[in-house]
Amino acid sequence: MKHLLLIAFSLIPAKVLAFPPAIEAVTVAQIGNGWAVSVTIRHPDTGWDHYADGWEVLTPDGTRLGFRELLHPHETEQPFTRSLGGVVVPEGVDQIMIRARCSVDGWNAASQAVDLG
């Protein structure tokens, strides 16, 4: 039975088993004409071959307002928080979306909405 289970499990495509970078928390603070955005991400980084490598700030319609590149793996620091300052949000936009990316699987399809009120 164990052998059958192992064989069946090995037939599942690797993409199905992937764990996309998960956004655990977001904080925002208005500073002057811009916003500082801090994002806490959890991802099972394995080293330089597979790690969470960035996150972006979007308007609800998908316009990119900022991008924070993550320059190295965080396999021993989970979850981890990184910030991006000077994000200019257009007048009338009261919500932003945060989306994370990993070096192997690309952008996580899920994004997190953050109210700026």
Say yes or no to pLDDT of 91 above 70. Answer: yes
Q: How confident is the model at residue 12 (pLDDT cuts 50, 70, 90)?
A: very low
Q: Could you list the residue range(s) of the whole structural domain that residue 30 is in?
A: 2-115
pLDDT surpassing 90 at residue 65: yes
Domain count, the chain: 1
Residue 111 has pLDDT above 80, yes or no: yes
CATH number of 61's domain: 2.60.40.10
The pTM (predicted TM-score) of the whole model is: 0.82
Quick one: pLDDT at residue 5? 44
For the segment 27-55, the average pLDDT, to the nearest whole number, is 96
Detail the DSSP E strand segments found in 1-117. Answer: 22-31, 34-42, 52-58, 64-69, 80-87, 95-102, 106-107, 112-115
